[in-house]
């Protein structure tokens, strides 16, 4: 009997312990009015936060719109300035007229090829002489088909080589005053010349130039309107290949 009483007491104690534990862990009952008030306050807080964000966004948009308006105004102003700006046009400087006026330059001495003679000569370019002259020997005048012709010899390969004989129609005669107050009547032939890359035509009077340094002389009439002379230079247009003494009569 005593054992039964002890068991019943132990069971009762255990049951009361469990009941006590449940009471401690159980949530406190909430009043419906308090819960509703708390929810309402949270809703108000959320709405206020949203309104505050909207105000901040509105202020930012207003500031951005103002900045865009200022930028548009500046762009418009710059475009107007570009359209109305007048760029001064600087007139090009007028170059002084060239003293050459299309003429080519000759040195005081040049190598000149005479097509009719088929030979090149070291030539004196002389602005002091009016006409041009070629060294010729054994000058003989004759008629051909009613026209005056001339036969003459030229030392085309130098004084040590035999002269070559040529014939040409006489264009006219000129009288050249000699140093002893005498005049020399000379036949004149027409010749085609080459000086470097330049080609020209001129009249050459035939005379004995064996006492002179150069077998060919070009005077002012040849240079007129086509060339100017730089007396400080020679052979501007190149020398004869192998530059033998094409001063044939030297």
Instruction: Write the pLDDT tens digit of every residue in 44-78.
Output: 788 788 878 888 888 888 888 888 888 888 888 87
Closest of 156, 166, 249, 168 to residue 210, by C-alpha: 249
The pLDDT assigned to 25 comes to 59
The pLDDT assigned to 30 comes to 64
The alpha-helical segments, DSSP class H, found in the chain are: 2-25, 32-84, 220-223
Closest of 105, 19, 123, 161 to residue 11, by C-alpha: 19
The pLDDT assigned to 95 comes to 62
Residues of the chain with pLDDT under 70: 1-30, 81-87, 94-101, 241-250
Beta bridge partners of 124: 109, 217
Identify the H or E element spanning 125: strand 119-125
Angstrom distance (rounded) from CA 2 to CA 169:
180
Within a domain: residue 236?
A: no
Within a domain: residue 91?
A: no
182 is in which domain, residue-wise?
A: 104-230
Confirm if 140 and 151 have CB atoms less than 8 A apart. Answer: yes
Q: At 13, give phi and psi (nearest 5°).
A: -65, -40
The pLDDT assigned to 122 comes to 95
The pLDDT assigned to 245 comes to 42
Within a domain: residue 170?
A: yes
The pLDDT assigned to 227 comes to 87
Q: At 26, give phi and psi (nearest 5°).
A: -70, 140
Q: What is the pLDDT of residues 145-159, one digit of tens each?
A: 999 999 999 999 888
Say which CATH number the domain at 155 has: 2.40.70.10
Within a domain: residue 35?
A: no
Within a domain: residue 224?
A: yes
The pLDDT assigned to 103 comes to 84
Q: At 204, give phi and psi (nearest 5°).
A: -120, 125
Kind of pairing between the strands at 216-218 and 119-125: parallel
Within a domain: residue 57?
A: no
Count the domains in the chain: 1
Within a domain: residue 60?
A: no
């Amino acid at each position: 009997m005593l054992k039964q009483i002890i068991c019943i007491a132990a069971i009762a104690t255990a049951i009361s312990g469990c009941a006590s534990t449940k009471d401690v862990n159980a949530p406190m009952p909430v009043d419906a009015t308090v819960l509703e008030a708390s929810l309402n306050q949270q809703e108000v807080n959320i709405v206020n936060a949203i309104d505050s964000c909207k105000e901040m966004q509105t202020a930012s948009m207003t500031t951005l719109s103002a900045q865009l308006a200022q930028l548009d105004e500046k762009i418009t102003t710059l475009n107007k300035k570009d359209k109305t700006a007048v760029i001064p046009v600087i007139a090009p400087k007028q170059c002084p007229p060239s003293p050459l006026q299309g003429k080519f330059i000759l040195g005081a001495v040049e190598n000149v090829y005479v097509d009719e003679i088929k030979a090149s000569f070291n030539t004196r370019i002389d602005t002091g002489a009016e006409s041009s002259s070629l060294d010729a020997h054994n000058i003989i005048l004759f008629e051909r088909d009613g026209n005056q012709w001339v036969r003459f010899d030229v030392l085309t390969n130098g004084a040590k080589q035999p002269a070559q004989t040529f014939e040409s129609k006489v264009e006219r005669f000129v009288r050249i005053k000699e140093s002893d107050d005498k005049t020399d009547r000379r036949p004149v032939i027409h010749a085609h010349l080459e000086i470097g890359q330049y080609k020209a035509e001129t009249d050459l009077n035939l005379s004995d130039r064996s006492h002179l340094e150069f077998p060919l002389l070009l005077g002012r009439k040849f240079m007129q309107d086509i060339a100017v002379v730089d007396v400080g230079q020679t052979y501007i247009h190149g020398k004869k290949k192998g530059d033998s003494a094409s001063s044939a009569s030297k």
